[in-house]
Chain A
Amino acid sequence: MTTLPPTSNPLRAGVLEDLSVDPCVLVIFGASGDLTGRKLLPGVYALAKNRMLPSAFGLVGFARRPMTDSELCAKMRGAVDKYARQKPVDDLVWDDLARGMRYVQGAFDDAAAYEKLRVTLDELDRQRGTRGGRTFYLAVPPDAVRTIVENLVRAGLCPPPGTGSAPYARVIVEKPFGVDLASAKQLNRDLLGLLDERQVFRIDHYLGKETVQNLLVLRFGNTIFEPIWNRNHVSHVELTVAEHIGMEGRGKFYEQTGLMRDIVQNHALQLLSLVAMEAPVAWDADAVRDEKVKALRALRPIRTAEEVQRHAVRGQYDGGVVRGDAVPGYREEPDVAKDSSVETYVAIAARVDNWRWADVPFYLRAGKRLGKRVTEIALHFKPLPHPLFDTSAMSLRQPNSLVLRIQPDEGIALRFASKVPGQGVAMRDVAMDFRYGTAFGHESPEAYERLLLDAMRGDATLFTRHDEVEAQWAFVDPISGAWREDRVPLARYPAGGWGPAEGDALMQGDHRWSKP
């Protein structure tokens, strides 16, 4: 039976309000894994609890270990009890979700398992009214992605848009998306040989964060910021993605990955492109991503060993004290080589070569075991052209900055100079601080909630497009290459500080890293 889009039903008009997801089954590959329990199921539950899911909804878990439907439900309930944002878990909401939950056991390369999956999906369509809508979430190791998509396509479960009887089939792919430019290109070729780009949702959970989206609203939903958002007024931009935790048992993963691939290539460059991009012509997936790609392509390449040495710093933490606790250095972490040269800190002085940003340094730093967990973007505005008042304090010569805090305490702060009350004209810098949690009295939804919802709705604005991923790799690849060949020294920093001194030396003139 063919299906009509729900909007052609006159009773649907206005009723959908916030229930704008079409009927859908979410199929999670890797359903017994860590990501599913920690993020995906709590996300699905929160959507259900806040009535953002359609009433025709089903969930299928796919993994290798044997499990029954009810064992999957029990496992998922345990995870939701532990990780849900809103506790205690509402039994009514959960029971309704659980009634639509199924498990399919199989290996990713086992064609028979996809046959079982198809039968399960058809059954759910009949029982839950999900009408053929499919979202496949690949919460699996990167090398399994191709195999799964091939099998889905072979089994006819993922037809291109506009063909076949299913209204839609989409695939969400987790990071890392490749390990370098060549592998990312290969993965894109593989995927786009099997699927349409409109079906592929490459997740970078940073884009699901409220403040990241708010950055776009701040820039393009207001009139006062955009006129000063350029080289005429901004002296430099700072981007910080800092974590205070170390390896937390992920030493083996880090030895293969390093911070550049784990954080800079994706999250940090996402933030940079959102700050640097031009206004999109519309709020839609392609228009927004076109502009982000343009900004990434305008990044001045850092290619030769000499350029890498001058504009980038890699570091690795030694033992130190973090939040009052003595912690070991990276090389003392479990599963880490005693002579490892893997970076746990990266700082880059980047340039965006276009009319808007010529000569404005974009300083980017990211690291593990830094002073605290904070992600923020700071735009520092130019110094006063001529001081009228006593500006002996450095901060008063360059009084204005706009700080966008992504985590924790999502918010925005504007720093400006103000007169100290009294007879004279003494100035002090003050901050106008806006925190989401406080102003809206609402917890922001978790990034995964938003992204799951968007993927189910088919809105790819907050997902990374193929050319965007490639532009990100194209920028970081040569830097990583020089590091891998050990042509640039590895700086050391004590855990709990703000990174190596070499990171400070990247800053030009009187620019300084601000203390977040």
Chain B
Amino acid sequence: MNTPVSDALGRIERELRALWQPDETGNTKPHATTLNLVALHGQDGCAFLETLEDVAARLGARTFVVNVDGRLEPWALEGDVSAVCRLEPGSLREAVCAERVTLRFGSMVGKRAASILDSLVESSLPTVVFAGPGAPASVLDALAGAAGALVIDSAELGVTRAAELAQRQSAQVHDLAFIRTRRWREMLARVFDEPALAPALGRVRGLRVLHAERTEHRGASAEAELLVAWLGARLGWTPGLSDAAGQAVEVSIESQARSGVIPGCMLSVALTAELPAGRLSARVERDADGEHLSWTVESPHAPTQVRRFATPRRDDAELVERAIRSFQADQLLRETLAFARSWKAHA
């Protein structure tokens, strides 16, 4: 006997197959699919959907937009199939199209999300699960297990939950919040490229991170926490924040109201450390224009160095695309999340 779910699924499958049939003039749309992108979101996913559209177009993905809708019957499954086409630059010709399937699950159906998606994904291609704001936890857990890669944002999930997910999944994990700290990590790393300053890495005494105030969420920003955790993990600090020699590292994370900067984004990092010949102090700061970072290093070994770098505007679609395309091992993120988790548990 057919259930409402299997009926709905059958219809969606038929629509998917029909999508690339020739039209009345015998033309088919040019189409390409390079991966399955399963995006999960809560009710308020407007900005997220825009980002997703952008990502899907850049990647040529068969996209599934999934949410659980409390207003539906518990066993209802609703779905739409459409072709999303990118136009050739400067013309109205369709350059290439890909499938988009929107799925709305009743509360009970959500639990079977993995099995439903299993029959709709292009099975020869990798599947990436992208957790958007308000992604229902149970569905995320169910889908993450079956994915080849998982894209999360600990700014949405919280660092502890992100760490749990990463620990549980064998899939590649990418964290947008961590990716957003890349420029800052790079700037800090630069300080110690100078061989005379490298010994200071073992004697960091203070770390002060400032981020733009968040109105909706309480607590520190995920980006700030991840930056601290990254340093801790890389430099072998204990969860109680002492260095390998047992000396305490003074860490503070503070926030400040700042217009023009996305809440939670980093504003500055200041690091102090000891060198045999004196003190090293390094500071990376977002300029008032929000578009540059200043990098300042003072040490007994050279005159004070100051540099400014352009920092690209935040573009979430690009971050996701880069995450999905990167074939880099996610070891660094896993290490960082694991440190963050034990550090927060300790605190």
Chain A positions within 8 Å of B, measured between CB atoms, are: 1-4, 6, 8-19, 23, 51, 55-56, 92-93, 95-96, 99, 128-129, 131, 437-442
> Of A11, A17, A129, which is within 8 A of B234 by CB?
A11
Q: Which residues from chain A contact B194 at a C-beta distance below 8 Å?
A: 1
Query: Looking across the interface, which residue of chain B has its beta carbon closest to that of A93?
Result: B310
| A439/B60 contact (C-beta < 8 A), A10-B235, A96-B309 known | yes
User: Are B60 and A440 interface neighbours, CB within 8 A?
Assistant: yes
A350 to chain B, nearest CB (A): 36
> Of B95, B186, B307, which is within 8 A of A129 by CB?
B307
Q: Which residues from chain A contact B185 at a C-beta distance below 8 Å?
A: 11, 15
Contact with A along B295-329 (1 / 0, CB 8 A): 00000000001011110100000000000001011
B262 on interface, CB distance cutoff 8 Å: no
B5 on interface, CB distance cutoff 8 Å: no
Q: Which residues from chain B contact A95 at a C-beta distance below 8 Å?
A: 310
> Of B192, B195, B235, which is within 8 A of A1 by CB?
B195
User: Are A56 and B182 interface neighbours, CB within 8 A?
Assistant: no
User: Are A92 and B189 interface neighbours, CB within 8 A?
Assistant: no
B72 on interface, CB distance cutoff 8 Å: no
User: Are A55 and B95 interface neighbours, CB within 8 A?
Assistant: no
> Of B34, B58, B190, which is within 8 A of A55 by CB?
B190
A409 to chain B, nearest CB (A): 12
Q: Which residues from chain B contact A441 at a C-beta distance below 8 Å?
A: 32, 57-60, 86, 96
> Of A2, A12, A438, which is within 8 A of B193 by CB?
A12
Q: How far is the CA of A95 from the CA of B291 in the complex (A)?
A: 12
User: Are A15 and B198 interface neighbours, CB within 8 A?
Assistant: no
User: Are A3 and B59 interface neighbours, CB within 8 A?
Assistant: no
User: Are B326 and A438 interface neighbours, CB within 8 A?
Assistant: no
User: Are A4 and B195 interface neighbours, CB within 8 A?
Assistant: yes
B331 on interface, CB distance cutoff 8 Å: yes
| A438/B196 contact (C-beta < 8 A), A19-B186, A129-B307 known | no
Q: Which residues from chain B contact A14 at a C-beta distance below 8 Å?
A: 328-329, 331-332
Chain B positions within 8 Å of A, measured between CB atoms, are: 30, 32, 34, 57-60, 86, 95-96, 182, 185-190, 192-196, 198, 201, 231, 234-235, 291-292, 305, 307-310, 312, 326, 328-329, 331-332
A–B pairs, 28, beta carbons within 8 Å = A1-B196, A3-B193, A4-B198, A9-B189, A10-B201, A10-B234, A13-B234, A13-B332, A14-B329, A14-B332, A15-B182, A15-B186, A15-B332, A17-B328, A18-B326, A55-B186, A55-B187, A55-B307, A92-B292, A92-B310, A96-B309, A129-B193, A438-B60, A439-B32, A439-B34, A439-B60, A440-B60, A442-B58
Q: How far is the CA of A427 from the CA of B312 in the complex (A)?
A: 55
Q: Which residues from chain A contact B328 at a C-beta distance below 8 Å?
A: 14, 17
Query: Looking across the interface, which residue of chain A has its beta carbon closest to that of B236?
Result: A10
Q: How far is the CA of A268 from the CA of B56 in the complex (A)?
A: 38
Q: Which residues from chain B contact A442 at a C-beta distance below 8 Å?
A: 58
- 8 closest A-B pairs (Cβ-Cβ)? A14-B332, A92-B310, A11-B189, A96-B310, A438-B96, A439-B32, A441-B60, A15-B185
User: Are B195 and A15 interface neighbours, CB within 8 A?
Assistant: no
Query: Looking across the interface, which residue of chain B has its beta carbon closest to that of A433?
Result: B30
In the complex, given contacts A15-B332, A129-B193, A440-B59, what are 15 additional A-B residue pairs having Cβ atoms less than 8 angstroms apart? A10-B201, A11-B189, A11-B231, A12-B193, A14-B329, A18-B326, A55-B307, A92-B291, A93-B310, A129-B190, A129-B305, A437-B95, A440-B34, A441-B96, A442-B58
Q: How far is the CA of A99 from the CA of B294 in the complex (A)?
A: 14
Q: Which residues from chain A contact B58 at a C-beta distance below 8 Å?
A: 441-442
Q: How far is the CA of A95 from the CA of B193 in the complex (A)?
A: 24
Q: Which residues from chain A contact B196 at a C-beta distance below 8 Å?
A: 1
A100 to chain B, nearest CB (A): 10
Q: How far is the CA of A23 from the CA of B194 in the complex (A)?
A: 12
Q: Which residues from chain B contact A51 at a C-beta distance below 8 Å?
A: 312
Q: How far is the CA of A23 from the CA of B32 in the complex (A)?
A: 39
> Of A9, A17, A128, which is within 8 A of B307 by CB?
A128
Q: Which residues from chain A contact B182 at a C-beta distance below 8 Å?
A: 15, 17
Q: How far is the CA of A2 from the CA of B235 in the complex (A)?
A: 23
> Of A3, A11, A56, A131, which is within 8 A of B192 by CB?
A11
User: Are A55 and B309 interface neighbours, CB within 8 A?
Assistant: yes
B37 to chain A, nearest CB (A): 12
Q: Which residues from chain B contact A56 at a C-beta distance below 8 Å?
A: 190
User: Are B189 and A12 interface neighbours, CB within 8 A?
Assistant: yes
User: Are A17 and B326 interface neighbours, CB within 8 A?
Assistant: yes
A96 to chain B, nearest CB (A): 4
> Of B60, B188, B193, which is within 8 A of A4 by CB?
B193
User: Are A2 and B234 interface neighbours, CB within 8 A?
Assistant: no
B175 to chain A, nearest CB (A): 13
Q: How far is the CA of A440 from the CA of B95 in the complex (A)?
A: 12
- Taking each of A9, A131, A439, A440, which has the highest tally of chain B beta carbons within 10 Å of its own beta carbon? A9
Query: Looking across the interface, which residue of chain B has its beta carbon closest to that of A3?
Result: B195
Q: Which residues from chain A contact B193 at a C-beta distance below 8 Å?
A: 3-4, 6, 9, 12, 23, 129, 131
Q: Which residues from chain A contact B188 at a C-beta distance below 8 Å?
A: 11
> Of A6, A15, A438, which is within 8 A of B30 by CB?
A438
